[in-house]
Amino acid sequence: MFGMINQFILFSGVITFTTVAIIMAVVILILSLFTWLMTSSRLIKKIKTIPSAVKAFIFKSNSVKDQQALDEIVEDGGYQYDPKQDIFFSHLNAWQRKYGYCRLYDEAAAPLGMIIDSEPAYFEYAGKRWLLEMWKGQYDLTTGCEIGLYKSEGPDLNIPGLFKGGFYECVDDDEMLEMAYTLKKNGTTLFTRVGRHWWLTGFKLGLFSEPAELTMFAKINFTDPSMCHAYVEALKKLGYGNNDLRVNNWVVHVKFEKPYSTQPATRVPEIDELIQKKNKLMCESYQELTKSIDNTPDKLNAFKAKEPVMYKEMLKIGKPKQLFAVYESLKHFLK
């Protein structure tokens, strides 16, 4: 374990308060995961011994017509539910909008259970600095992806012992862009999202995936040719070319399969493997517990009734509040 931590420190380069905090979070996570993995393995074996008829009766007894569990996820996570595609997605005025974005959030993702590829593209336009970032991968109990648009009008932050880099605000309504994407897993379409947004997301509950299995086919419609050109040049600097980048007028088509940008220091193979084992077991537990139920609202209520501890993890769909805790340390330095 400590050899892995040493490798992480060397990879990070500079030891700061944030680095130490992340290391401690990883250590605590690893210790807790070992206990969780043992418990979950026994749980799945136990569930499989229950006759299907008995499970169906239990779940039917715990079904709640008012969609209580679904409402909790919508309220806590800032998401909406699409029954046709069976996915959760963020609404325009989700609570995450007030927290902006910076590199520290990406660094904190893996220790919090999110093994996701990130592709940030930084560019300048109209006297502002912009960040248009794509993500895809496993978010605890969900497989999903995102596109986020952010802006900055101030200088980089330089907070000794904490953070050095740009902090970006979520764009205003009049700056949002028409976006669309299709997420595929090993060539099979999982879902499609379309909308004028600042943060276009989609998360499929109970599905486990490795980031490398996922490909996002994104389309972004710019309203200004200069902004479109600046974004395209940023993608080209990352390494995108004719095979994964196409421009038609002011519409940019991007195939996000393997990230070209440097991934967060917390994305080391050992951490990925351990956290993905936990994520996979959680998905298997959810699938086993709910396989006799044909709709997500009833699945959520049954899961809440039978596994309240894991249900709390389920409330962290997408990017949870824990990810944005670092904002409390940064906000005093933001003008």
Residues written for the chain: 335
What integer best gives the mean pLDDT of the chain?
83
In sequence order, what are the beta bridge partners of 183? 191, 216
Q: Is the pLDDT of residue 39 over 70?
A: no
Rounded mean pLDDT of 84-100? 94
Rounded mean pLDDT of 264-270? 95
Under DSSP, the state recorded for 119 is E
- In this prediction, residue 70 carries a pLDDT of 67
Rounded mean pLDDT of 60-76? 54
- In this prediction, residue 33 carries a pLDDT of 53
Q: Is the pLDDT of residue 215 over 80?
A: yes
Task: Give pairs for 180-183: CB < 8 Å, separation 24+.
Answer: 180/218, 180/219, 181/145, 181/147, 181/216, 181/217, 181/218, 181/219, 182/216, 182/217, 183/136, 183/143, 183/144, 183/145, 183/214, 183/215, 183/216, 183/217
- In this prediction, residue 65 carries a pLDDT of 42
Q: Are 69 and 301 in contact, with CB atoms under 8 Å apart?
A: yes
Q: Which two tokens stand for residue 148?
A: 């986020």
- In this prediction, residue 292 carries a pLDDT of 92
Q: Are 61 and 110 in contact, with CB atoms under 8 Å apart?
A: no
- In this prediction, residue 26 carries a pLDDT of 54
Q: Is the pLDDT of residue 11 over 70?
A: no
How does residue 110 score in pLDDT terms, banded at 50, 70 and 90? very high
Residue-range domain boundaries for the chain: 10-333
Q: Would you call 202 helix, strand, or coil by DSSP?
A: strand
- In this prediction, residue 307 carries a pLDDT of 84
Distances (CA, A) of 55 to 45, 178, 303, 304, 306: 14, 45, 12, 14, 11
Rounded mean pLDDT of 210-228? 98
Write out pLDDT tens, residues 157-189: 998 888 899 999 999 999 999 999 999 999 999
Distances (CA, A) of 303 to 90, 277, 319: 22, 20, 21
